Structure 1
Amino acid sequence: MEEQHRPAAPAWDGGPSRWRHGPPGWDRWNEDGHRARWPWRSTLLLTVFVLVGSGFAAHAQHGDRLALDPFSRALLLVGSGLLLWRQRYPVFVVFGTAAVTLVYVAAGYPYGPVFLPAAVACISAVLAGHRRAAWTAVGLLWAGHLLVAHWLYRRLPPAGDRPPSWTQEIAIAAWVVAVVALSELIRVRREQWGRERAERAQAARRRADEERLRIARELHDVLAHSISVINVQAGVGLALLDSDPEQARTALTTIKAASKEALGEVRQVLDTLRAPGEAPRAPAPGLDRLPELVEQAASAGLTVEIEGEAPAPAPGADLAAFRIVQEALTNVVRHSGSRRARVRFEHERGVLRLRIDDDGPATGVEAGGSGNGLAGMRERAAALGGTIEAGPREDGGFRVLAVLPWKAKEDNR
């Protein structure tokens, strides 16, 4: 299978192996990584234009230059026809068109659009990355014309030819500079467009990565708490199935309620993915659902004490605070031997300090978690410009301290 991706074309060093657009095999691909197409239409149109324009030029310069003959038309065809390979062999084409043009002028044939193929080849070579080759070819063409027009004209046809004025030579030099400048301008614009396309693609990938992480974090937070409750109650149900069937029934009822809630929240997340751009059908959870969270924790055997009052809802921060409390209580159920946790709210000067404590000790038992809970909490806090501190306390417990910017809805007036 042919390679689909290739590095940038190397700079021309004058050797025949560099006349291709890169190493052998690369001449089949253009700069976008797709198979290069033969520029039939543009080459045909330019060839017709050069032939017709040279005919008019021969009529206008009758008596001053030689009339067009089969050899001159062959030169015009070859010079224009070489452009068919300008995308695959840009260095060869730019030198080939320059040489054919110089032979045409030295043979005494009329001036006209004969220089146009060399200009097009120069632009193609510059765009292909062979800038020095293009400059060299155009410079040699101008120097060769200068030599023919001012020193060799007596030995070359037509007979009795006189050198052009230096004003004409300055105009030709200006033409050469204009072709090179146009080539460089097109190259710079193309590189700029390429960078912009790459930046847009990178931004799109970054947005996709951020969205994927957001969805993963949301699903983790949705499922972790409910699955922890289900895990604890399943263990209780199995332990009491024979000795206390009624208590086992209660555990199964709790499992049913927790799984139903988890399915509902997962469905809400998936609905937002299936209908991009539409508003979610159900509001995102916030601190107003804290009593439900306390009740779920109680069904898992964890008593939660609330200290302070939850502040008024704030867009974005309300969901983050709820998920942080949910994940912290989930970690207590999973990893702590304590059956009691404390959630404290402190809200002042647009900042919410949220503290979740348990008295420990850590059980050291693998609870089957993904290990991404604390990372997810830190990501949520960082997305709002807040911070998370989590770690063991000196007395053996564990503390999660979140500091979140908090601007309630009623403050946005």
Structure 2
Amino acid sequence: MSDVESGWHDQRVPDNPRRPVPAHRLPPSARTALTWCAVAGLTLVLWAALGAGPEPAHGQPPGSLRLAGWPRLVVAALLALPLRWARSRPLPVLAAVVLGFLAVTTSHARIEQAWPLVLAADALVALVAATRPRHVAAVAATATLVGQEAVWQRELWASGGAPRLLAVGMLALTALIALLVLLAWVAGTMVRQRRDHAAVLREHAATQAAAAERLRIARELHDVVAHGIGVIAIQAGAAGRVIGSRPDAARDALAAIETTSRDTLKGLRQLLGGLRATEVAEPAGLTGLAGVDRLAETTTAAGVRVEVRWRGRNRPLPSTVDHSAFRIIQEAVTNVVRHAGTDHCRVLIDHRGEELCVEVLDSGGGRAAGAGESGYGIAGMRERVALLGGQFSAGPRPEGGFRVTARLPLLEAAR
């Protein structure tokens, strides 16, 4: 049983699985600030790189793109600006960065001057792999790799032909460019797989929470209704048997049916009101041990006398312990009425130092309590006690009858 059983938990799988869902989102203003910082950083790095080319020799065509002052800053800013939309539109931004890289390198810029764009494109490949379908990410990574390698091979060919192209150092750099793109794609894919796995876990947790909530509602409905219906059935049978010979007794039975029906309806209303509440704790307003005397009265009126004994110093209890203790007593007494075949039972409520002990005894010879068709008798009581970290036992007594005992720790419930 999950600890989410005490209430509703809103754990939905994101509607758009393409978008990353971190555990702790940054506020929008912080994300915007970080994005603009990335744009500014890439602008400055590009500004420095575009001005780092060697001076052409006298009478030789320029071997690198050389811009001075403001024009170089404007070009760098235009190349970096698409990063502003990287998170929301990674594919178009990747295309813009790759096209910018191709434009710069075909305008007499050496690949060394455009290395910031190479790294930016690789980072965008990782982002695409993390946020877009696998086949889309594979196509984007392949296109990026082809563009970068084409520029690199063209530059090698222009600077020395086949010998330059096949030099060991140049082959190593060729492999490095491919390796960087591959690593970016793998890293993004791993992020996506982790996010998908987290989504599956969230969906599983939501399913468990819903199942636990349904079980809690079923148990509450059983606890609220079963006792009242049992008493009503007994009183109705008694009224039917004596309505002709003892009309006064029949009227008393009908009055008990009316009272029990009202109490059951009140319990249902309290339960439904608690289910509508937004809190995840045990619904407020449900009956606690203060209702034991009323329970004893209605059960006695049904023909089974309930003797209630209190021990220890009566003090305020955690609401979960108070409510669960009453439900355990109610269910045990209901089982006595329905199954024990006796006209008497005893309820003991013992306030101990750090725990509350409740016990229901009878001396009947009927079938074991909880052996009915509903399946929520002993199992439901055992679940209540387990949720509070307590101890539960139920079984026949050596001297005859049946005993139900629950020990509920107070400190555990107060946490």
The correspondence for 1:334, drawn from 331, 335, 338, is 338
Q: CA deviation at 1:368?
A: 6.8
Answer yes or no: is the 8 Å Cα contact 1:268–1:280 preserved in 2. no
Secondary structure of 1:304's counterpart equals: strand
**Counterpart for residue 105 of structure 2:** 57
Judged with a 3 Å threshold, the aligned counterparts in structure 2 of structure 1 residues 324 and 56 are, in CA distance, closer, same or farther, namely closer
The correspondence for 2:204, drawn from 202, 205, 212, is 202
**Counterpart for residue 238 of structure 1:** 240
1:351 corresponds to 2:355: yes
Q: In the TM superposition, what whole-angstrom CA distance separates every residue of 1:345-371 from its partner, at most 9, and x where no partner exists?
A: 333331222221111110699997513
Q: CA deviation at 1:228?
A: 0.6
1:214 corresponds to 2:216: yes
Q: In the TM superposition, what whole-angstrom CA distance separates every residue of 1:216-244 from its partner, at most 9, and x where no partner exists?
A: 11111011111111010000111111111
The correspondence for 1:193, drawn from 176, 195, 213, is 195
**Counterpart for residue 5 of structure 2:** none
The correspondence for 1:320, drawn from 324, 332, 335, is 324
C-alpha distance in 1 between matches for 2:234 and 2:259: 14
Secondary structure of 1:213's counterpart equals: helix
Secondary structure of 1:60's counterpart equals: coil
Answer yes or no: is the 8 Å Cα contact 2:126–2:184 preserved in 1. no
Residues 69-218 of structure 1 aligned to structure 2 (within 5 Å):
163=164, 169-218=171-220
Secondary structure of 1:394's counterpart equals: coil
* Counterpart residue identity of residue 374, structure 1: I
Residues 15-30 of structure 1 aligned to structure 2 (within 5 Å):
none
Judged with a 3 Å threshold, the aligned counterparts in structure 2 of structure 1 residues 365 and 402 are, in CA distance, closer, same or farther, namely closer
C-alpha distance in 2 between matches for 1:381 and 1:265: 21
1:361 corresponds to 2:365: yes
**Counterpart for residue 267 of structure 1:** 269
Q: CA deviation at 1:187?
A: 1.6
C-alpha distance in 1 between matches for 2:253 and 2:388: 38
Q: CA deviation at 1:189?
A: 1.6
Deviates more, 1:157-166 or 1:239-248: 157-166
C-alpha distance in 2 between matches for 1:373 and 1:257: 24
Number of residues paired by the alignment? 320
* Counterpart residue identity of residue 221, structure 1: D
Judged with a 3 Å threshold, the aligned counterparts in structure 2 of structure 1 residues 209 and 309 are, in CA distance, closer, same or farther, namely same
Q: CA deviation at 1:388?
A: 1.5
What is the RMSD of the two structures over their aligned residues, measured on CA atoms? Answer: 4.6
C-alpha distance in 2 between matches for 1:158 and 1:402: 88
**Counterpart for residue 85 of structure 2:** none
Deviates more, 1:328-337 or 1:284-293: 284-293
Q: CA deviation at 1:200?
A: 2.4
**Counterpart for residue 391 of structure 2:** 387
Q: CA deviation at 1:395?
A: 2.5
Judged with a 3 Å threshold, the aligned counterparts in structure 2 of structure 1 residues 319 and 244 are, in CA distance, closer, same or farther, namely same
Judged with a 3 Å threshold, the aligned counterparts in structure 2 of structure 1 residues 369 and 229 are, in CA distance, closer, same or farther, namely farther
C-alpha distance in 2 between matches for 1:283 and 1:114: 65
* Counterpart residue identity of residue 163, structure 1: R
**Counterpart for residue 293 of structure 2:** 291
Answer yes or no: is the 8 Å Cα contact 1:286–1:313 preserved in 2. no
Answer yes or no: is the 8 Å Cα contact 1:54–1:114 preserved in 2. no
C-alpha distance in 1 between matches for 2:335 and 2:359: 14
Q: Percent identity?
A: 37
* Counterpart residue identity of residue 312, structure 1: R
Judged with a 3 Å threshold, the aligned counterparts in structure 2 of structure 1 residues 280 and 375 are, in CA distance, closer, same or farther, namely closer
Judged with a 3 Å threshold, the aligned counterparts in structure 2 of structure 1 residues 271 and 361 are, in CA distance, closer, same or farther, namely same
C-alpha distance in 2 between matches for 1:59 and 1:282: 74
**Counterpart for residue 60 of structure 2:** none
Secondary structure of 1:400's counterpart equals: strand
Answer yes or no: is the 8 Å Cα contact 1:332–1:358 preserved in 2. yes
Q: CA deviation at 1:175?
A: 2.5
Structure 1 gap ranges (5+)? 1-29, 33-40, 65-110
Judged with a 3 Å threshold, the aligned counterparts in structure 2 of structure 1 residues 59 and 173 are, in CA distance, closer, same or farther, namely same
C-alpha distance in 2 between matches for 1:121 and 1:386: 54
Q: CA deviation at 1:288?
A: 1.5
The TM-score with structure 1 as length reference comes to 0.63
**Counterpart for residue 307 of structure 2:** 305
C-alpha distance in 2 between matches for 1:350 and 1:278: 25
* Counterpart residue identity of residue 255, structure 1: I
Judged with a 3 Å threshold, the aligned counterparts in structure 2 of structure 1 residues 367 and 252 are, in CA distance, closer, same or farther, namely farther
Structure 2 gap ranges (5+)? 1-15, 19-88
Answer yes or no: is the 8 Å Cα contact 1:234–1:251 preserved in 2. yes
* Counterpart residue identity of residue 339, structure 2: H
Judged with a 3 Å threshold, the aligned counterparts in structure 2 of structure 1 residues 192 and 361 are, in CA distance, closer, same or farther, namely same
Judged with a 3 Å threshold, the aligned counterparts in structure 2 of structure 1 residues 368 and 259 are, in CA distance, closer, same or farther, namely farther
Secondary structure of 1:371's counterpart equals: coil
Answer yes or no: is the 8 Å Cα contact 2:369–2:378 preserved in 1. no
* Counterpart residue identity of residue 354, structure 1: V
Judged with a 3 Å threshold, the aligned counterparts in structure 2 of structure 1 residues 58 and 173 are, in CA distance, closer, same or farther, namely same
Q: CA deviation at 1:172?
A: 3.7
